[in-house]
């Protein structure tokens, strides 16, 4: 009996860019996947032994790290935030480009960091935020939010936010300015390390297909 290989892909912005790449790598989800009204979460593909699950970006990393899914696509922000040792990220997919940045209301832009020792930050990325501020000699108290971080300063939750910035339109619409870029982000192919060893006959050619799909010749 052939065991199913589960491929986790994120809902949201990366999805539109990920689908053509999946197709280039030879994986096509069943028609229901494209039906916006469908409440299904797991889908068949053109490969009898490969199914696709569509979950939140942070959950892609969790499913793959625990081996519930063997392979997935997720932003490097999520890979870095979780820092799971079970995740192998062999291919930069060159899609989903954005940046993880610090932002704050325009009138706070020139606050002197040397005069403070502690900052309060609303973010979905407490690990990366603490690390960033630690390197600057500041202690970050993170208020964990799962979205709409841009509301935090105007409602007095925190003066600063750390969030993804793409066009900058969301910051602008909420009266915030980007004050520093923590890291550039792009989507990665991620594989469960144990599965990569145990099921290399299936997973290694799949990783190779993605490398070819993005035009990368050599192993990362």
Chain residues binding ligand PRP by CB under 6 A are: 12-13, 147, 150, 163-170
Nearer of residues 4 and 170 to ligand PRP, judged by Cβ: 170
* Closest C-alpha among 43, 45, 2 to residue 25: 45
Residue 42 vs residues 6, 7, 26, 143: alpha-carbon distances, Å: 9, 10, 18, 33
Residue-by-residue DSSP string for the chain: -PPPEEEEEESSHHHHHHHHHHHHTT--B-GGGG-TT----EEEBSSTTEEEEEE-HHHHHHHHHTTSSSEEEEEHHHHHHH--TTEEEEEE-S-S-EEEEEEEEGGGTT--GGG-SEEEEEES-HHHHHHHHHHTT-EEEEEE-SS-GGGTTTTTS-SEEEEEESSSHHHHHTTEEEEEEEEEE-EEEEEEHHHHHHTHHHHHHHHHHHHHHTT--S--
Rank residues 25 and 103 by Cβ distance to ligand PRP and give the closer one. Answer: 103
CB of 178 to ligand PRP, least distance (A): 9
CB of 174 to ligand PRP, least distance (A): 9
Which residue, 162 or 203, has its beta carbon nearer to ligand PRP? 162
d(CA 25, CA 206): 7
Q: Minimum distance from CB of 25 to ligand PRP (Å)?
A: 24
- Of 80 and 150, the one with the shorter C-beta distance to ligand PRP is 150
89 near 216, Cβ under 8 Å? Answer: no
Nearer residue to ligand PRP within complex by CB, 150 or 202 = 150
Q: How far is the CB of 59 from ligand PRP (least distance, A)?
A: 13
Question: Nearest approach, Cβ of 167 to ligand PRP (angstroms)?
Answer: 3
User: Which is nearer to ligand PRP, 166 or 200 (by Cβ)?
Assistant: 166
CB of 12 to ligand PRP, least distance (A): 5
Q: Provide the minimum distance between the beta carbon of 92 and ligand PRP in the complex, in angstroms, as a whole number.
A: 20
Cβ proximity to ligand PRP, 137 vs 147, nearer residue: 147
């Amino acid at each position: 009996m052939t065991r199913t290989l589960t491929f986790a892909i994120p809902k949201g912005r990366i999805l539109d860019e990920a689908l053509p790449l999946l197709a280039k790598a030879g994986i096509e989800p069943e028609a229901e996947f494209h039906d916006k009204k469908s409440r299904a979460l797991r889908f068949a593909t053109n490969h009898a032994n490969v199914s696709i699950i569509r979950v939140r970006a942070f959950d892609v990393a969790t499913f793959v790290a625990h081996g519930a899914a063997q392979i997935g696509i997720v932003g490097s922000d999520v890979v870095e935030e979780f820092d799971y040792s079970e995740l192998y990220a062999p291919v930069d997919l060159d899609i989903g480009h954005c940046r993880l940045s610090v932002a704050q209301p325009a009138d706070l832009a020139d606050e002197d960091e040397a005069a403070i020792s502690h900052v309060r930050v609303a973010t979905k990325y407490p690990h990366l935020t603490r690390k960033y501020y630690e390197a600057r000699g500041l202690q970050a108290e993170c208020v964990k939010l799962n979205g709409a971080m841009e509301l935090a300063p105007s409602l007095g939750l925190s003066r600063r936010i750390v969030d993804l910035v793409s066009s900058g339109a969301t910051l602008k619409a909420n009266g915030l300015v980007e004050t520093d870029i923590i890291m550039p982000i792009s989507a990665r192919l991620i594989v469960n390390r144990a599965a990569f060893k145990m099921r290399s006959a299936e997973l290694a050619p799949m990783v190779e297909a993605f490398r070819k799909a993005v035009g990368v010749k050599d192993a990362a």
